[in-house]
Structure 1
Amino acid sequence: MDLFTGSTELMAVKKRFSRPPMATNPKGRKWRRSFQPRSNGTNRCEAPLLTVHKTFNDLLDIMASKLNIRKETAADIEAISAVTAAAFKDHPISKQTEPFIIRALRAAGALTLSLVAEIDGRVVGHVAFSPVTISDGTGAWYGLGPVSVLQDLQKQGIGKALINEGLSRLKTMGAQGCALIGDPDYYRRFGFRNYPEMVYEGIPQKFFQALPFIDEVPQGIVGFHDGFQATS
């Protein structure tokens, strides 16, 4: 998994080792030019490509090793609220109620699985799983969400790592499947898709997706916990 941490050091390396034009030195070795003129008017050449790539990949491995995913503790509650609020602050389709949802699920004993992602002891992401109901009586299904990552660390694999770990733990717990409301293009990578047999009322059905852990797919109307109605 691409567990990039998004630290300042990583961002600097990404910027430095983006793909500028190629040049060849007198010995025929390919170098990359940064096109930052020196005082003598020549263009500075960076390190040979092999060294650049090795340095970059080594740094990514180091950053990835710092990401830790674990179950929440009581000491994490305030940090989870802060991370969730920050992650959804400018989200175009959010009503910014996600921290209240997590709090309501926890208070109702419905926060079945709550995982945090931390880097160097700092909580930077969170994912919640809670029970769902299905009108055909099928049990052991869970809803995924909210899932949050600090905005400056998004799109670097942290959310992916949280979701994959959560799904793995649900399977270990004996869950039969997981459902969510979200972007089909994003969640398809985890195996989620829309099943006509499973319906969540009130939204376009393409946004309601499920991932059965067994061969049998339930048939009925799906309901999320009342905690998702929390507004304060």
Structure 2
Amino acid sequence: MLIRVEIPIDAPGIDALLRRNFDGGGEASLVHALREDGQLTLGLVATDDDGQVMGYVAFSPVSVEGEELQWVGLAPLAVDEAWRGQGIARQLIFEGLDSLNEFGYAAVVALGEPAFYGHLGFETAANYGLRCRWPDTEKAFQVHRLADDALEGVGGQVEYSDHFNRF
């Protein structure tokens, strides 16, 4: 397995993976729209020995109370069913966090299973006065600081790209 930054030739494999893993194709359309509008900060793929996409994670810009703070949102994350349970999602996220840290990003937010993200160093965002627009997500909305001072004096609503409201 190889984890690397996505390249244009990966797009059909990413699209197929997301359509297999999420009902309705919304996540595939979301990634396509983010990519087309230049709002995909980082996309990583996990490929098998033949170059087939077996996992994917995307990161895109978010703002806090309308302010750009060098934060990104993690979404979507997918691993092909045949490859689950091997730590690929964890490896994709860690590789993404490392790269984003090197690029000077301050924090990453994610909406997902608290136990899973907690094992990766994410914390409940509500503990820092952060929330997202989707109802009943207080426990699932997580934040991971990349910069030591990323959460100091920050609070309020975290806004994802408008594309997240369309699909």
TM superposition score normalised by structure 2:
0.90
Higher relative contact order (CA 8 A, sep 6+): 2
Q: Which amino acid aligns with 1:134?
A: V
Distance 1:230 1:76 in 2: 24
Q: Work out whether residues 39 and 61 of structure 2, in 8 Å CA contact, stay in contact via their aligned partners in 1.
A: yes
Q: Which amino acid aligns with 1:230?
A: R
1:185 aligns with 115
| Matching residue within 117, 130, 136 for 1:198 | 130
Structure 1, unaligned stretches of length 5 or more?
1-66, 90-94
The alignment status of 1:133 with 2:63, answered yes or no, reads yes
The alignment status of 1:80 with 2:10, answered yes or no, reads no
Give 3-state SS (helix, strand or coil) of 1:156's partner: coil
Pick closer, same or farther for the CA change 1:227–1:136 going to 2, 3 Å: closer
Q: Which amino acid aligns with 1:200?
A: C
Distance 1:154 1:140 in 2: 31
Q: Which amino acid aligns with 2:62?
A: V
Distance 1:98 1:133 in 2: 20
For residues 9-29 of structure 1, the C-alpha deviation after alignment (integer angstroms, 9 at most, x for no partner) is xxxxxxxxxxxxxxxxxxxxx
State the identity as a percent. Answer: 35
The within-5 A match list for 1:80-159 is 80-89=14-23, 96-120=25-49, 121-135=51-65, 137-159=67-89
1:221 aligns with 157
Structure 2, unaligned stretches of length 5 or more?
none
Cα shift at 1:108: 1.2
Cα shift at 1:213: 1.5
Distance 2:136 2:110 in 1: 12
1:52 aligns with none
Give 3-state SS (helix, strand or coil) of 1:139's partner: strand
Cα shift at 1:81: 0.2
Cα shift at 1:149: 0.8
Q: Work out whether residues 61 and 71 of structure 2, in 8 Å CA contact, stay in contact via their aligned partners in 1.
A: yes
Question: How many residues were matched structurally?
Answer: 160
Give 3-state SS (helix, strand or coil) of 2:54's partner: strand
| Matching residue within 203, 208, 227 for 2:141 | 208
The within-5 A match list for 1:7-86 is 67-86=1-20
Superposed structure 1 runs of 4+ greater than 2 Å apart: 201-204
Distance 2:66 2:162 in 1: 19
Q: Which amino acid aligns with 2:52?
A: R
